[in-house]
Structure 1
Amino acid sequence: MYDITTLSPSITEEEVCKTVSGVKAGIMEGTLTMAYNELYKTIPNPCLPSNAKGVHCLLLYWYALENFSFTDSNFLTEAQLNAILVVSEQISKKCCCDG
């Protein structure tokens, strides 16, 4: 376990919460997109997690972020937490809507 004191102040609780919200939205939208694709045989949107692998990855990252604590010892290092934040945002991002 890693003590929170090993984490720099560069990763904030707000950043983790924002990523968790994006991951939840990505899971919901990705699941709906997969269902629509299967039902209507539509062309998958490349800007959403439109396959099972993307949704499953988001579920695992969500679990890790939900169990992360800024006050207790953690199973993640700062580098691992940062990597999860970056990859989660990349998978759940709606790139077509960003300006």
Structure 2
Amino acid sequence: QAVPIVVSSVNSVDEDIHAPALVVSPNPFYGSAPLLISGLPATADRLSIVASNGAMVYDVALDPTASEQPFDLPTLPSGTYAVLVSTRTGVVSAPLVVLK
């Protein structure tokens, strides 16, 4: 069963100077509620989730005009993951722990 993922962005004129704080909640994630990823820079264009073994388990393009975007997160086994958000100037990341 897929779980909704909600992504929200932050508009900042100085995002190149100050790295945004990417927040993933709830963390640890138990798979029963929507996963919220906030603090995205306004130039975020791609969201990826990578397993601890380096395998990409989720990858989706972001709509730069939307302040919040829901997606269906695939069912992930328990483990540690990295949430990666690509922007025009680089990548910001945050850890994600999944517990089942």
User: Which structure has the higher relative contact order (CA within 8 Å, separation 6+)?
Assistant: 1
Q: Give yes or no for TM over 0.5.
A: no
Sort the TM-score into its range (normalised by shorter chain): under 0.3
Q: Which structure carries more strand by proportion?
A: 2
| TM-score, length basis structure 2 | 0.27
